[in-house]
Chain A
Amino acid sequence: MSATAKTLIMTFSFLMIAVSFFIGWWAKKKVTSSEAYFGSTGMFGPFTVGLSSTAAVASAFALVGVPGLMYSTGNAMAFWMLSSAAFAMAYLILGKKVRAMAEIGKVASLGDLSDLRYNNNRVIKITMSLTLFLGCVAYLAAQIKAGSELFGHLLGWDPLVAGFVIFGVLAVYMSISGEVGGLLTQAFQGLVMVIAGVVIVVSFFNITGGFGEVLKVTSQAGTVTANEITKEFSPDMLNAWGSMPRTVAMTWMLIPILGTVGQPQVITRMYALKDPRDMPKMGLYTALSHTMVGLLTMVVSSGALYLVATGKIDPLVKGDRAIYAMADYAGITAQLFVYAGVLAAAMSSASLFLSICSTVVSRDIPSALGFKFEPKKQVQISRISMLVLGIISIVFSVTQGEMVGILGTFGWGTLMSATFPVFVLGLLWKRANEKGVMCGSITGLALNIASFAGFKWPGVLPWYFNVITISIAVTVAVSLITKEQGLSRKLQAVIDL
């Protein structure tokens, strides 16, 4: 890459970081209560919340890892990114009930929702918070690592320095304005990702002539070798299943679609919406923006396959290089938006997960242990914890590469196992009682830790599928065999809504 291109990419990307910082700084005037700081509760309209939801869900993994897997193993992974129906499904399942919870008590975090539903049960709140923390730390570390290494490599900086420049700024604005700043900057970053999607889609059609050409060259290329790297092509790569076991495709359909309803970045956005009747409109905005991100991943993997199959570029050292290979070939406009888009994806997810980690550590777990603070003091504590956690995460992510790799297997599924027993069952089914949810949550946490420690599950299903199934089954079984618990009239009204 030429020095001019590097300078332009750097300028454009740092401009995006600067705009994010100013939005975060400006947002502090909207932080008028602890509910605003921790949850943006009932504060924003459908467009802002919708873009923020897409940006928080579509992480650097979505833009870099998914096209990389599709380049390496074919279309099975496309199921994950073509899950744009998931937002409407999530809102249909849980939307009005989560939003209604904010009307029956103070809701600023997932811990507050748990308190309201389960009579301040400490065990449920702590186990759910710990599982959430595990999943969020995993995601946070992966975002920081991806962003720091990319820009460290691009600019010739030490990744730690790049990490502090990019994610240090993020930790500062998140500390200042909490979830209000987080949500607004995520909306802006979501917009950057959508624009990057449009640019790369146009570039794809200019370069390849369309998906038909990609299918043709992929079917005919056979084996391509250059610089001692070989890429095997086959006509089946671009059917629906690709070259991985088809059960994996099944998992990548079920888990992202149903998992969306259990992701904290979706549930917290349900109560951030001002008018609950705007949720269907929010479903439209999230679906459209997610569709553009999904299309981006498809054209990137297809474009990289086309370029390698036609000999225009050498086979990629790693599938994860697909997005950069495509952008570098497409030229400076694509490079500007794609690099900024990847950074936007990493920053938007990182800010959300940093916020949840900080809320868990500084608010939910202390309150479950009996430590109560005045709202103003609570915000001060959280500001400090946000900064401290931000710094620790940057150092940890950049210096502990192997551990981050292991943690990378946590994330989506872990977060599902934390929230499904507590919220999905708890808000759909009156019979879900404290004993059942306690047992389900403890089982989920224990099995997550066992899987992290290396426990091997049977079959080719990803381990988290087993964990989610067992934690749901335990919750339901224990709830059914133990005594039914009375609910408050307000809670009954929420579940009946």
Chain B
Amino acid sequence: MDLSSKKTAIIVMITILWLTINFLGWNDYYLVSMYLGVVLMLLYMMLGIAKQGILSKKLFFYCLIPWAVIWIASFTLADYYAALFAGAMPSFTILGFHPSFASIVVGYWIGGMLTLTIMYYNLKDEWLSQKDWDDFVKKIASIDETEKGGAQ
């Protein structure tokens, strides 16, 4: 997926998302703000992982998308169970937690951490391979040489 020509559009989307979340936050629309927050983070990560403007499909589909789905599901379930058991002891627990908080513990905390961290580690070459880094260092050295030559 080539993002080279879309980076400015993505930055504009990110800015609009910040403004929208801020506005929704003023008006107590917390859940939709959280969903939009996930999209905001997703866009930042897409820009961060793109190499020469190209977004790795593996990182996108095996790392970023599962993370986003888990977080959105986690916030949705947290809100659903908070409303379902409002003012009462819940009729069941998950790992001893209130089901609303359990979805945050399992999804937002552990699920989010595992999908991003483990998949990032497993797909580290998609993010930065040894060849990418060596090519970058060589390129900098070659620019330095050229600039030195030009200065002489």
**A interface residues with partner B (beta carbon < 8 Å):** 75, 78-79, 82, 84-85, 87-89, 91-97, 100, 103-104, 210-216, 219-220, 234-236, 238-241, 245-247, 249-251, 253-254, 257-258, 261, 276-277, 279-281, 283-284, 287, 291, 294, 424-425, 428-431, 458-461, 465-466, 468-469, 472-473, 476-477, 480, 489-490, 493, 496-497
Contacts and interface: CB of A to CB of B under 8 A. Distances in A.
21 contacts: A82-B108, A84-B109, A85-B67, A85-B112, A88-B113, A89-B45, A92-B49, A235-B87, A235-B89, A235-B90, A239-B98, A253-B37, A280-B121, A280-B127, A287-B117, A469-B18, A469-B21, A477-B15, A480-B12, A496-B52, A497-B128
Contacts of A210: 96
B19 interface: yes
A75 B112 CA distance: 18
B26 interface: yes
A124 to B, nearest CB: 18
Interface string B16-32: 00110110011111110
B79 A240 contact: yes
B40 interface: yes
Given A84-B113, A472-B15, A428 B44 contact: yes
Given A246-B28, A250-B25, A429 B120 contact: no
B62 interface: no
Given A84-B109, A281-B121, A459-B25, A473 B127 contact: no
A490 B97 contact: no
Nearest to A241: B82
A239 B28 contact: no
Nearest to B105: A82
Interface in B7-64: 7-8, 11-12, 14-15, 18-19, 21-22, 25-31, 33-34, 37, 40-41, 44-45, 47-49, 51-53
A241 B25 contact: no
A310 B89 CA distance: 17
B17 to A, nearest CB: 10
Contacts of A425: 11
A239 B120 contact: no
Given A459-B25, A459-B27, 15 more contacts: A84-B109, A88-B113, A89-B41, A92-B120, A215-B96, A215-B97, A235-B85, A235-B90, A240-B78, A240-B82, A277-B130, A459-B26, A469-B21, A476-B15, A493-B140
B116 interface: yes
A352 B22 CA distance: 31
Contact of B133 (A91, A212, A277): A277
Contacts of B136: 100, 103, 493, 497
